[in-house]
Amino acid sequence: MIIDVSDILKDVGASKEFEGNLVLEDMVYQGEKIGFLTPIAVSGRLTNVGELIMLNGRASVKLQLQCGSCTQPFDRMLEFSLEAKLDKTDDPEDPDIFVYEGNAIDLKDIVFEFFLLELPIRKLCSPECRGLCPYCGCNLNLEQCECEQNFAYREQYEVDSRLEALKRVLSANGEEV
C-alpha cells in the first residue's frame, strides 16, 4: 500500500484521499491462529499540516479466529480507525510518529500495527460460549455430558462419608449426635 504524496508535499493544507487493500497471510500471533478471510480494506485521507503529514482513515477485515473457550474457529468482522503522524525524521519525543522516505508513504506497517492493537485479547465465538467440559473435553455448546452431575454427586458423597466418620467418633466418646 504505497501512496505517492509528492502532490501534497508542496502545499501546507493540501490533502488527498486514498483507498486500497492490504493482503496478509494467515499467521500465529501470541500463540493463536489468525486467518484472513478478506484483505484489510483501508480508506482515508492524508493531509499536509506543515511539519507533518496526518493520516486519518478506517480499515475493516473479516477474520477467522479461534475461540479461547471452546477452541472452535469462528468468523469476526473487525473495523478500526487509523490516526497517525508521518514525518521524514524520527522524533524520540513523540512515539506516535511513523517515518517515511522520499515522496511515497507505505501504509503497510502502520495499518498492521493498528490491526494488532485492535485484535480482541480474549477471543470468544459468542458471549454465551459454554466452552469445553473440563472432565471429558466435549464441546458444551454442541453436546451435554453427564460429568458435571457425576462430579457434584461424588463430592456430596465424600462430604457425607466424612460426616459419618465424625459421628462414629463422637458416639464412641458417648456424646449425643
CB of 72 to Zn ion, least distance (A): 5
Residue 23 or 136: the one with the smaller Cβ distance to Zn ion is: 136
> Does the protein bind Zn ion through residue 135 (CB under 5 A)?
yes
Q: Cell digits for 167? A: 459421628
Point out which span in 87-95, 112-120, 134-142, 149-157 binds Zn ion (CB under 5 A): 134-142
SS3 161: helix
> Does the protein bind Zn ion through residue 147 (CB under 5 A)?
yes
Q: Tell me, what amino acid is at 143?
A: E
Site of grid cell 477485515: 61
> Does the protein bind Zn ion through residue 151 (CB under 5 A)?
no
Q: Across the strands, what pairs with 36?
A: 63
> Does the protein bind Zn ion through residue 41 (CB under 5 A)?
no
Residues 60-99 contacting Zn ion, CB under 5 A: 67, 69-70
Contact 40, 22 (CB under 8 A): yes
Q: How many CB atoms lie within 10 A of CB 142?
A: 9
Which residues in this chain contact Zn ion in the complex, by CB under 5 A? Answer: 67, 69-70, 125, 129, 133, 135-136, 145, 147
